[in-house]
């Protein structure tokens, strides 16, 4: 299983395999053609409430990750996560995001869960 993480603004590469956008909102100023996104499972993204709480600086990354993992355990999100796992079992999956912080954001939590 191969899971990569990249910014959606970076041009697609052949090594990306299936590009999965993991943001609830479409990145500003980016056309769908330039993004090269194959899948966009919005139900895999953090809830609006959780995202706003974290970006307001009200909690630690560890607490954000714990709460986000709980959201991902809900049936709809768990089903979408399993779908991405199946894609990754067949070949490379690249999680793409507009976020600048790839190490302490939701995409890092997703990548870790997919790789485990």
Kindly write down the DSSP assignment for every residue of 41-85, as one continuous string.
Answer: -GGGSPPHHHHHHHHTT-S-HHHHHHHHHHHHTSHHHHHHHHHHH
| pLDDT tens-digit series, residues 80-111 | 999 999 999 999 999 999 998 899 999 999 99
Torsion angles phi and psi, residue 57, rounded to 5: 75, 25
Q: How far is CA 24 from CA 8, 42, 47, 99, in A?
A: 13, 5, 9, 11
Q: What is the mean pLDDT of the chain?
A: 94
The whole-number pLDDT of residue 78 equals 96
Question: Is 93 in contact with 3 (CB distance < 8 Å)?
Answer: yes
What is the strand order of the sheet 18-21 is part of?
2-7, 92-97, 18-21
The whole-number pLDDT of residue 58 equals 81
| pLDDT tens-digit series, residues 20-68 | 999 999 999 999 999 999 999 999 999 999 999 998 988 899 999 999 9
């Amino acid at each position: 299983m191969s899971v990569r993480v990249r910014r959606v603004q970076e041009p697609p590469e052949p090594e990306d395999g299936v590009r999965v956008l993991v943001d609830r909102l479409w990145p500003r100023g980016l056309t769908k053609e330039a993004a090269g996104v194959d899948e966009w499972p919005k139900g895999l993204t953090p809830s609006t409430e959780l995202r706003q709480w974290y970006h307001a600086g009200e909690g630690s990354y560890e607490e954000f990750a714990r709460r986000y993992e709980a959201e991902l355990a809900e049936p709809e999100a768990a089903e979408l996560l399993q779908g991405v796992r199946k894609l990754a079992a067949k070949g490379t999956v690249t999680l793409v995001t507009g976020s600048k912080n790839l190490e302490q954001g939701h995409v890092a939590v997703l990548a870790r869960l997919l790789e485990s």
